Amino acid sequence: MINTNKILKCIGSLACTTMQVMALGLGSTGFALGQDSLYIGDGSDGSVKRFNAVTGAYLGAYVPPNTNLKLRGPMGLLFDNENLLVSNQNVDTSVTGEIFQYSLVNGQLQQTVIVKRNTPTSPAVPRGIVLWKDAFFVAEMISEPQKNATTPGRLLKYTRGGQLIGAFVPPAGTFTSGAEFHPRGVVIGPDGLLYVSNYDHLDTGLGGHVLRFNPNTGQFIDVFINSVGGGACSCTNELNRPEGLVFGPDGKLYITSFRADSSDTDKILIFQGPNGRNPGAYVDRIDLDVVGQPRAYAQALLFGPNGYLFVPITANGPDTGSVRRYDLTTKQYSNFVAPYAIGGPLQSGWYLTFGKTDPHTLTYP
């Protein structure tokens, strides 16, 4: 018999296990009937941590750090129905990346390898992941199996079962001035095209692109945003080392961007979407930190309940480990999850998903 009092007590103490939450008869991606959960990969211990999507209350590790096949650098993650897909980069190791799937079966978390490491079809350095129909795309930042940073990456397409069916790159002549293809974030846009953020200068760390591909064929379409990089904040040309990118409820494109130098800020840049008057044009920005103060940058971002923008913060400052929830009307934020320094559970939160996040467009219902 289910001990309901014990389960309710664990909820009150924010220390529920996955099985206890499931015992309430709730879905694996929901905290309570009609509610949702937020999931964030934590690179510090190789876990995926879970939070109440409304209150931010910590619900424990959905994927614990002691799984049989350990996560070493969880990157892109999304739910395909009740199955959580995670791109595992295997950071600080000599092995390539891989794609895991986690499923709850009779209240027990089961791990399946969808794409194995160290095979000809493995993603060497996987980052973002997104579904498309019965397939999924992985941004492979570096394609050389020994993770040589000078080797350009690819956009990889797999069947849902993990069979590689395409590897795509922009055509010669797409970039100038020594820029290369090192994709990081991926998302399906409102026009049905695949948008890819590109960290094009690993040597200088300045500049970046957003490229578009046809998700059906893998054909390169165009350069949607081209930034030469810098810190003067035009801000069109300050898209440095972009990674996470999502479309907001307003149809605009939001992208994480890193500072050029110590006189600059880490920020989120906002561009017009494909249905705007000037598609790809710079619109606005949200500064994440202040010049001269501790840094607070973000690798990824995602829209969630009530149109709020959720941003996990990493760096070495006092805000590290927090998850900010931004009101786009005021650009003000509250700490949805407290920083690690004052008791928050995250140390290195990067990619995130809600249980109800659309795995193609990354939008929230």
Instruction: Concatenate the DSSP letters of all residues of 258-283 into one string.
Output: --SSTTS--EEEEE--TTSSSTT-EE
pLDDT surpasses 50 at 24? no
Question: What are the distances in angstroms from CA 249 to CA 105, 163, 311, 356?
Answer: 34, 34, 16, 15
How many angstroms separate the CA atoms of 362 and 213, rounded?
17
93 alpha-carbon distance from chain centroid: 21
Q: In this structure, what token pair is assigned to residue 289? A: 């930190």
pLDDT given at position 20: 42
d(CA 175, CA 81): 38
Using CA atoms, how far apart are residues 270 and 107, in angstroms rounded to an integer? 41
Across 277-299, average pLDDT: 95
Residues of the chain with pLDDT > 70, as a percent, come to 88
> Is residue 32 within 8 Å of residue 7, measured between CB atoms?
no
pLDDT higher than 80, residue 271: yes
CB-based burial, 131-161: b 16+ in 10 Å, e otherwise: bbeebbbbbbbbbebebeeebbbbbbbbebe
Q: Tell me: pLDDT of 30 over 80.
A: no
| Mean pLDDT (whole number) for 158-172 | 97
- 3-class secondary-structure state, position 19: helix
Segment of 10-19, 170-179, 277-286 carrying the highest mean pLDDT: 277-286
Q: Which tops the pLDDT comparison, 279 or 228?
A: 279
Residue 279 has pLDDT above 90, yes or no: yes
Mean pLDDT throughout 279-306? 96
Per-residue confidence (pLDDT) for residue 231, from 0 to 100: 61
305 neighbors 36 (Cβ within 8 angstroms) = yes
Considering only 66-80, 137-151, 219-233, which range has the smallest mean pLDDT?
Answer: 219-233
Give the whole-angstrom CA distance, residue 218 versus residue 283.
29
pLDDT of residue 25: 36
What mean pLDDT is reported for the chain? Answer: 89
User: What's the confidence (pLDDT) of residue 232?
Assistant: 59
- Identify the three-state secondary structure at position 6: helix
In total, the chain counts a number of residues equal to 365
DSSP bridge partners of 258: none
Distance (Å, rounded) from C-alpha 227 to C-alpha 235? 9
Average pLDDT over residues 199-215: 92
| Percentage of the chain lying above the pLDDT 90 cut | 77
pLDDT at residue 27, as a whole number: 44
The answer for residues whose C-beta is within 8 angstroms of residue 117's C-beta and 6 or more apart is: 90, 95, 96, 97, 98
pLDDT band per the 50, 70, 90 thresholds, residue 35: confident
Nearest to 50 by CA among 73, 69, 22, 88: 22
pLDDT band for 108, please (50, 70, 90 cuts).
Answer: confident
Q: Report the pLDDT averaged over residues 123-128.
A: 97
Please identify which residue in the block is written with the tokens 């320094």.
341
Q: For the chain, what is the total number of helices (H) and then of strands (E)?
A: 2, 24
Whether 74 has a pLDDT exceeding 60, the answer reads yes
Query: pLDDT band for position 34 (50/70/90)?
Result: low
Q: What is the mean pLDDT of residues 81-105?
A: 94
Q: Choose the weakest-confidence range: 5-9, 117-121, 177-181, 211-215.
A: 5-9
CA–CA separation, 154 and 135 (whole Å): 16
Average pLDDT over residues 349-363: 98
Q: Most confidently modeled of 23-37, 194-208, 285-299?
A: 285-299
- 188 vs 213: CA distance, rounded Å: 10
Q: Which of 94-98, 226-230, 268-272, 352-356 has the lowest average pLDDT?
A: 226-230
pTM, rounded to two decimals: 0.90
Query: Is pLDDT above 80 for 53?
Result: yes
CA distances from 92 to 73, 74, 95, 142, 208 (A): 9, 13, 9, 14, 25
**pLDDT exceeds 80 at position 28:** no
Longest dimension (CA), the chain: 67
pLDDT higher than 90, residue 150: no
pLDDT at residue 67, as a whole number: 76
